[in-house]
Amino acid sequence: MSNDIFVWIEQFNSTADSIAWETLGAARPVADQLGGRLVAVVLGQKCGRPGSASPPLRRGQRLFGR
């Protein structure tokens, strides 16, 4: 059974909603406590590769975008 925590991040023109970073920050300790990974799922219009404004991913984190 997986203990991964998935966080949905909406974005537009490669800019994530500001609440996304707070949500990721709150989810990190939960994923750590469960022994799972923190997975960001990026959804929205004109999704591209994460830009320089994206925080660096830590070991065990994953980022999905489409």
Domain ranges within the chain, ordered by starting residue: 5-65
pLDDT at site 21 = 84
Who wins on pLDDT, 1 or 7? 7
pLDDT tens per residue, range 16-55: 778 888 898 999 999 999 999 888 887 766 665 555 445 5
pLDDT at site 46 = 62
- CA distances 27 to 24, 49, 60, Å, are 5, 22, 13
28, 55 contact by CB (below 8 A): no
- pTM value? 0.64
64, 42 contact by CB (below 8 A): yes
